[in-house]
Amino acid sequence: MNKIALVFPGQGSQYVGMGKDIYEIATAKQIIDRSNEILGFDIKSLMFNGPEEKLTDTRNAQPAIVTLSIALFYLLKEKVDLKFEGVAGHSLGEYSAYIASGRLSFEDGIKLVKERGHLMSEVEPGKGGMAAVMRIDDEEVEKICSNYDKVVPANYNCPGQIVISGDKKQMDEVIEKIKEKGGRAIPLSVSGAFHSPLMKDAAKKFREALNLVNFNKSDISLYSNVNALPVKDGEERELLEKQIYSSVRWTQTINNMIKDGFTTFIEVGPGKVLTGLIKKINKDVTVFNISDIASLNSFKL
């Protein structure tokens, strides 16, 4: 079976000027303007003009990325008669996947992302951190982290690339042990320990926002970051609550999708990070990237 899946990027893919090149297209304009209305502040201006430090703030980056991803998704649907059977998103990108699959309306998705960004930004800034780990097996990283209660593998991005997250003091010790084993750890410029136990209180509060939105049924398989499996009806709230403090199992997700017959992956949204990761997970699959007007215009299945 040669099935097509859409994948959506997460935080870190934002950049000043994002969406500016598609704004004059009616469909994109409608999505971006609607996002402004729902959010109650000028996300369009931040996307187009910055400043970068304000756009990078998780409260702004999250809705900006989802807004552009969905605008590009609708433009792609207008361009080609797209028959996709699966979706997945990396961390924040899972909300774009929910919207694209029809499980969430754009309005509810943006409302959730706004609240998610707000709650995550409130978690004791400066107390937690994240680091990208290379040159060491995932199992060895898991073994080191298991000796600590506030540091965990946060993102399984691709073989040989894992991100750890947690309490800064414990992180320093974990990074030293990784170096002793011949690995390399690079601290990331983030405002908190995302996808770690430090986010549990934020996740509990976020459940209140999840309870206010409706989830729809869909024939499109949506793979969860939490367990790397298709989401079943009724599981949405529990999985999205857990997602805030659980590991992003991206490697496992892509491998499971391939096992389920997906051979073509189209990354829709700013940047090309997922395109690169998927090729590292399995070099035999076909990968496309739709990140701006140029890549949209040149796209051919």
CATH code (residue 53): 3.40.366.10
Q: Are residues 65 and 209 in the same domain?
A: yes
Q: Are residues 106 and 218 in the same domain?
A: yes
The whole-angstrom separation of Cα 272 and Cα 219 is 27
Active site residue 195: yes
Global confidence as pTM: 0.96
Catalytic residue among 91, 165, 196, 224: 91
Return the pLDDT at 190: 77
Q: Are residues 176 and 226 in the same domain?
A: no
Last residue in a domain, options 187, 218, 238: 187
Q: Are residues 288 and 210 in the same domain?
A: yes
Instruction: Please tell me the total count of domains within the chain.
Output: 2
- DSSP percent split of the chain into helix, strand, coil, nearest 5: 50, 20, 35
DSSP result, 191-206:
SS-TTSGGGHHHHHHH
The whole-angstrom separation of Cα 157 and Cα 280 is 9
Check if the beta carbon of residue 269 is closer than 8 Å to that of residue 292: no
Asked whether residue 192 is assigned to any structural domain, the reply reads no
Return the pLDDT at 201: 94
Catalytic residue among 35, 69, 195, 224: 195
Q: Are residues 101 and 65 in the same domain?
A: yes
Residues 109, 213, 90, 117, CA torsion sign: positive
The whole-angstrom separation of Cα 121 and Cα 198 is 12
Confidence of residue 151 (pLDDT cuts 50, 70, 90): very high
Active site residue 105: no
178 strand-pairing partners:
none
Q: What is the pLDDT of residues 61-116, one digit of tens each?
A: 999 999 999 999 999 999 999 999 999 999 999 999 999 999 999 999 999 999 99
Identify the domain containing residue 292 by its residue range.
Answer: 3-123+197-298
Asked whether residue 254 is assigned to any structural domain, the reply reads yes
Amino acid at 200: K
Confidence of residue 192 (pLDDT cuts 50, 70, 90): confident
| Cis peptide bond upstream of 153, omega within 30 | no
Q: Could you identify the residue written with the tokens 């096992």?
A: 259
Q: Are residues 216 and 293 in the same domain?
A: yes
Return the pLDDT at 127: 84
Q: Residue 296 corresponds to which tokens in the numbers above?
A: 């949209």
pLDDT of residue 128 exceeding 80, the answer is yes
Q: What is the pLDDT of residues 220-259, one digit of tens each?
A: 999 999 999 999 999 999 999 999 999 999 999 999 999 9
Asked whether residue 205 is assigned to any structural domain, the reply reads yes
For residue 76, which of 99, 94, 100 has the smallest C-alpha distance? 100
Asked whether residue 289 is assigned to any structural domain, the reply reads yes
